[in-house]
Amino acid sequence: MSGPVGVALERRGAGLVARLVIERAAKLNSLDTPTLEGLAQAVGGLPAEVRAVVVTGAGERAFAGGANVDELAALDPVAARAFITRVHRACAALRECPVPVIARVNGYCLGAGLELAAACDLRIAAAHAVFGMPEVRLGIPSVVEAALLPRLVGTGRARWLVMTGETIDAAQALAWGLVERVTPMHELDAAVDRALDALLAAGDAALRAQKRLCKLWEEAPLDDCVRLSIVEFAAAYAGDEPQRMMGEFLAARKKR
């Protein structure tokens, strides 16, 4: 791995997995311009055969400790618009990635780092992880993909995070629905691998369709969600996945 974002591809069973690592451990993996641009480019440049992505931070102290404060302090209104747009593009790259993205939260997950995690499909956290949106304590509002937080934790809890700037621990994040799993740090990779195995057991085309639908369900009116779900269901039968996988299921059931 090299540069602000390391990319490693690994074969896991019949599936190819990409692991992206924010490589700024000495700075709590804070997100500066090169890192944000590197992350968006890394996601956009993944091979088409990748079936799942894991995003994490280097070391054991932080997933991403927020936007780089040195850079934030030097912004003017024009530069601020450009910087926050880069934050959005990095988050949007994860959200628009056609395959599932897991956030491996290995420590501090603050500000723009929490927005990155929120843009992922699943979040698995180490027990020592800390979550927060401290921007108001730096004189700026939480913006862009912070808008995903009410969908994850509800409006009141989202307002608590962005208005107080207070942090919560991993147990509270789990109780609020901000993360899906919490595990001791020494078991974090095993928990991520179990999630990967579950994802890779699904049909590739079906899982890509499911991600499209999950995003649609968050954004579109109910009638549109139902209508387009019907389209996706019918389109699944244009390929061989349903016949092949159901055939395997029925054959296995017959043997039992």
Active centre residues (catalytic): 115, 135
Q: Which two tokens stand for residue 238?
A: 């244009």
Determine phi and psi for 106, rounding to 5 degrees. -105, 20
Half-sphere exposure of 148 (CA within 13 A, CB side): 21
User: E strands, 23-166, where?
Assistant: 50-57, 62-64, 101-105, 108-110, 122-126, 130-132
Contacting residues for 77 by C-beta, under 8 A, at least 6 apart: none
Task: State the amino acid at position 144 in one-letter form.
Answer: V
Helix (H, G, I), strand (E, B) or coil at 110: strand
Indicate the DSSP class of residue 187: G
Q: What is the bridge-based pairing of β-strands 5-12 and 122-126?
A: unpaired
CA distance 20 to 39: 8
Helix residue ranges per DSSP H, 178-219: 188-200, 204-219
Q: Residue 14 in contact with residue 52, Cβ under 8 Å?
A: no
CA distance 35 to 15: 27
